[in-house]
Amino acid sequence: MAKDPSYVYNRRVVGDFVSSLLRQLKFKREDFRTIGSFGGFTSLIDLGNFAIAFNTDNVGTKSIIAEEMGRYDTIGIDCIAMNVNDTITSGAEPIAMVDYVELKSVDSEVGRQLGIGLNVGSQMANITLVGGETSIVPDLVNHVDLAGAVFGIVQKSQIITGESIRDGDLIFALGSSGVHSNGFTPIRKIMADEGLTVHDRFSGEQKTIGDLLLEPTKIYVREVLEAMTIVNVKGMANITGGGIKNVSRLKDMHFVFDSPMDPQNVFTQIQNLGNLSDQEMYETFNMGMGFVMIIDPDGKRDLLSLLKNKVHIKEVGHVENGTGTVIPKLETTFTGYY
């Protein structure tokens, strides 16, 4: 079938929207200092010897898959994962979170199941959910929107920004658990065009499509925080919306993924059904690589020794002087983030 050009949205349009918004944000408190600029995975607030990391994210339209399956007990994990995985990119330890649930109507069973996931995710990330807000807005939403904001803390001397990344540094990927929590709008469009429901199965899969897509986002907090105690980690990227292009947010360097992880079958099926190019796939989905760490080459053995039995980890590339992100074996090149 012919490819629907709307499957993958125009990231440049999104970038223009964000730039238009940010240009209006001119006011700052005189006694208030931030570290770094807009555009990172988390924002840092200067508190003397320490900095607060603060960021927000949501589950997106993965919640529609949960609704179609009648099962909401895992998307709370996704909500926490999408937030804490951003927080740790700065070297900060996530401490607490507030959530925001937007609903079309009240359903106590949905609330119970959301709470189950949020509690499990809190345990996995070792954070406390300290509060939140619930809003019933039938004129605004037709489904469930679950979002959160995480607070973390880091000693200023231990902040990781990516600025120390140099030519010759190594790129390691931590394996994803599946699609995670982005790219569900194109996935749902492809399913609709192919006449597939959440109860069908992709070729080569025992689980239903719904079960595959609801696999919770991997939380990397414990592994990453432990790795930072023994390895010189220079930069980290949470591979969510924007896919592999997220590494370009660290520093203007040439990131070479000469040995990427093999993507799970779910990505192969999405690509084939949607007739999507490798370029489109890798700038939309994590493609098996949920989190990226860039380290000094001297730390390779220690990193692998520490994490090999805790998370799927692989050396996937290296850094060179220059600009852009490339996957040589796929002959794909990416420039910028948007």
- Report the pLDDT averaged over residues 188-200: 97
Are the CB atoms for 302 and 231 separated by under 8 Å?
Answer: yes
Q: How confident is the model at residue 1 (pLDDT cuts 50, 70, 90)?
A: very low
What is the model's pLDDT at position 13?
83
Q: Which domains does the chain have, with CATH numbers?
A: 33-158 (3.30.1330.10), 170-334 (3.90.650.10)
Which token pair is 303? 């990193």
Beta-sheet strands, E only, within the chain: 34-35, 43-47, 50-58, 93-103, 128-136, 145-155, 170-175, 233-238, 254-256, 289-295, 313-320, 324-327, 332-334
d(CA 207, CA 190): 18
Beta bridge partners of 51: 46, 154
Q: Quick: pLDDT tens for 97-107.
A: 999 999 999 99
Question: Chain-wide mean pLDDT for the chain?
Answer: 94
Does the structure show a pLDDT above 90 at 225?
A: yes
Q: Is 131 left (phi over 0), alpha (psi -120 to 50) or beta?
A: left
What is the model's pLDDT at position 182?
94
- Report the pLDDT averaged over residues 183-197: 96
Are the CB atoms for 118 and 178 separated by under 8 Å?
Answer: no
- Report the pLDDT averaged over residues 50-73: 97
What is the model's pLDDT at position 6?
59
The model's pTM: 0.94
Does the structure show a pLDDT above 90 at 119?
A: yes
